[in-house]
A and B are shown apart, each in its own frame.
Chain A
Amino acid sequence: MTIKEIQEEIVDEFAMFDDWMERYEYIIDLGKNLPLIDEAYKTEDNIIKGCQSKVWVHADKIDDKIVFTADSDAILTKGIIAILIRVFSNQKTEDILNADMSFIDEIGLKEHLSPTRANGLVSMIKKIKMYALALQTK
């Protein structure tokens, strides 16, 4: 599936929820089900430092695709990063770099784009794109 298709799928899933609580419960579940990152990758280099929670992101290049794994010490953050991984993992660098992120707004997570959620989506997306770029030439 392309990034766009996955995003549409996620938007459809979130459309089933009536209120924020159901959305948050779903995100919490996603967080709980996120496959664990290899402890060896929980390094200072892989950390996205922010004010509130810690996020680790690791990237590998398999054939011509980038595969991401991640973890966080906060469960909501972990759920959000699970969504991002679903969107970006197993995709090609140029598709990752060119991805439009407006689906975030559509699934009602706009507030996580605010700069005060210092560990929110903005810095995670930036880090994911940075990895994609760095691994492009490898």
Chain B
Amino acid sequence: MLDIKSIRADFPILTQHVNGKPLVYFDNGATAQKPQVVIDAIAKYYEEINANIHRGVHHLSQVATDVYEESRLKIQKHLNARHSYEVLFTSGTTFGINLVANGFGQILKPGDEIIVSHLEHHSNIVPWQFAAERSGATLKVIPMNEKGELMMDEYVKLLSPNTKIVAVNHISNALGTINPIEFIIEKAHEVGAAVLIDGAQATPHLKPDVQALDCDFYVFSGHKICGPTGTGILYGKEKWLNQLPPYQGGGEMIKEVTFEKTTYACLPHKFEAGTPNIAGGIVLGVAVDYLNAIGFDNIEAYEQELLDYATKRLQEFDGIEFYGTSEHKASVISFNFTGIHPYDVGAIIDKLGVAVRTGHHCAQPIMNYFNIPGTIRASFAFYNTKEEIDIFIEALKKAKTMLS
């Protein structure tokens, strides 16, 4: 059981008033709020530790390097990665996917195939389109059904020895569907393809075990798991990280530089050119510690309760359409009121202090599938409450009355 009252006290922003009403923050899928320990750790870094890492012989540089590398170890442990050098610091999910897709763009050949799914965020589509254009490979798409679930029988048919990489999300950002990634990974491996899992929407809700999953890459963003913006992780299996070319050139990523030829540093430095977001990387470790102290089993169970309660309350409305009705769902609800534009609803409930996301959620193929301009998306975190859901429902009632 979670002590929600004491958890909420950890998040200073939650006491805010918006438009004169207490803030109800249901846009956690976009970014999570930060607990005080995370906020304090950012200040502490600059007050006590700040120095460039991996190069100075002086005291502060060594301290900063140690703390930064400790954070990598924490995240390695969190993901159950085999080696710490398989855990790369990035600026976020988008960067991680681009790094991998760019690498594949250089090693794929015409005739090779890349598979993504209909449920992807644009950032797990566009980098692969670049890779396909650059290499002459073909992009294939796993279709979805009307419940917002990927069709596994169709997926299996797409696989062939030409498949080189499969890139899918763990949880859909627009609909909340939890995808059967164990099956996807297993089947891809049967034809020798690598698998990248976009964990941006999964990591706030669960703790992935990359060895048990056996995925080749797992990417996520720090800011969605209570960490700072501009942070993220790319986990990659050692054999793949060795095989892929570096993404950015610069300091730190080299072994030896001459004007004739440069050799690259070993992992993880090969992919970490330049001065990284040192404060961000360190504080991401603090955020991971914070979440683990609460416990992902507790988080999952509580969020499921919120999802069930919100779903039940929303079902009280006439003329509501839900998008994404899989039985396997994270705490995300996407819906519309018949004949009412989601933007209008979002703008009105904002005036009542309720923050949700409206629009296409950077997943236009999903909106096209349902033939809608967008949805209203409420996404819950472990610091949300049923009382907030009640406020949300009242706000929706008011919006619906005004707009009908």
Stretch at the interface among B50-58, B63-71, B203-211, B341-349: B341-349
A119 to B373, CA, bound (A): 13
Chain B, residue nearest A51 (CB): B359
User: Separation in Å of the A16 CB from the closest CB of chain B?
Assistant: 18
Q: Provide the A11-42 mask, 1 if CB < 8 A to any CB of B, else 0.
A: 00000000011001100100000000000000
Pair B373/A25 contact, Cβ less than 8 Å: no
Q: How far is the CB of B242 from chain A (nearest CB, A)?
A: 40
- Check B358–A21 contact: CB distance below 8 A: no
- Tell me whether A21 and B343 are in contact (CB under 8 A): no
For the complex, what is the distance from the CA of A20 to the CA of B18, rounded to whole Å? 13
Contact of A54 with B360 in the complex, beta carbons under 8 Å:
no
Interface size on A, residues (CB 8 A): 15
CB under 8 Å from chain A, chain B span 320-342: 340-342
Does A76 have its Cβ within 8 Å of any Cβ on chain B?
Answer: yes
Binary interface encoding of chain A residues 73-89 relative to chain B, with 1 for a CB under 8 A from any of its CBs, else 0: 11111000000000000
| B341 & A24 in contact (Cβ 8 Å cutoff) | no
User: Which of A24, A54, A73, A77 interacts with B348 by CB under 8 Å?
Assistant: A24
Indicate the size class of the contact surface on chain B.
10 to 19
**Which of chain A's residues 43-80 have a Cβ closer than 8 Å to chain B?**
51-54, 73-77
Known: A28-B403, A51-B359. A76 touches B351 (CB 8 A): no
A75 — which chain B residues lie within 8 A by C-beta?
A: 340-341, 344, 403
- Is the beta-carbon distance between B351 and A74 smaller than 8 angstroms? no
> At the interface, yes or no: B402 with Cβ under 8 Å from chain A?
yes
Q: Are A21 and B344 in contact (CB under 8 A)?
A: no
Across the interface, which residues of A come within 8 angstroms of B402, CB to CB? Answer: 21, 24-25, 28
Contact A51 B360 (CB under 8 A): yes
A73 touches B19 (CB 8 A): no
* A18 → chain B closest CB, angstroms: 13
Q: Which of A20, A28, A54 makes the CB contact (< 8 A) with B373?
A: A54
Q: Which residues of B contact A74 (CB under 8 A)?
A: 341, 343-344
Bound complex: CA A98 to CA B403 (Å): 35
Instruction: Evaluate whether A53 and B351 lie within 8 angstroms (CB atoms) in the complex, with A20-B19, A28-B402 already known.
Output: no
- In the complex formed, the residue of B with least CB distance to A75 is B344
Residue of A nearest to B341 (CB): A74
Q: How far is the CA of A16 from the CA of B95 in the complex (A)?
A: 50
Q: Which of A20, A24, A52, A77 has the most CB of B within 10 A?
A: A52
Q: Is the CB of B359 within 8 A of A52?
A: yes
Query: In whole angstroms, how far apart are the Cα atoms of A117 and B360 in the complex?
Result: 14
User: At the interface, yes or no: B374 with Cβ under 8 Å from chain A?
Assistant: yes
Q: How far is the CB of B31 from chain A (nearest CB, A)?
A: 14
- Give the residue name and chain of the B residue nearest to A31 (CB): B344
- Tell me if A76 and B344 are in contact (CB < 8 A): yes
CA distance A48 to B237 in the complex (A): 45
Cα(A92)–Cα(B270), bound, Å? 62
B358, closest chain A residue (CB): A52
- CB of B374 within 8 A of CB of A52, answer yes
A54 CB contacts on chain B under 8 angstroms? 373
A residues less than 8 Å from B340 (CB atoms): 75
Q: Nearest CB to that of B374 among chain A residues? A: A52
Docked CA distance A25–B401 (Å): 10
Q: Which residues of B contact A53 (CB under 8 A)?
A: 341, 343, 373
| 13 residue pairs from A and B, CB less than 8 Å apart | A24-B347, A24-B348, A24-B351, A25-B402, A28-B402, A28-B403, A52-B346, A53-B341, A74-B341, A75-B341, A76-B343, A76-B348, A77-B343
| Besides A28-B402, A76-B343, 9 other A-B contacts (C-beta < 8 A) | A20-B351, A21-B351, A21-B402, A24-B351, A52-B342, A53-B341, A53-B343, A53-B373, A77-B344
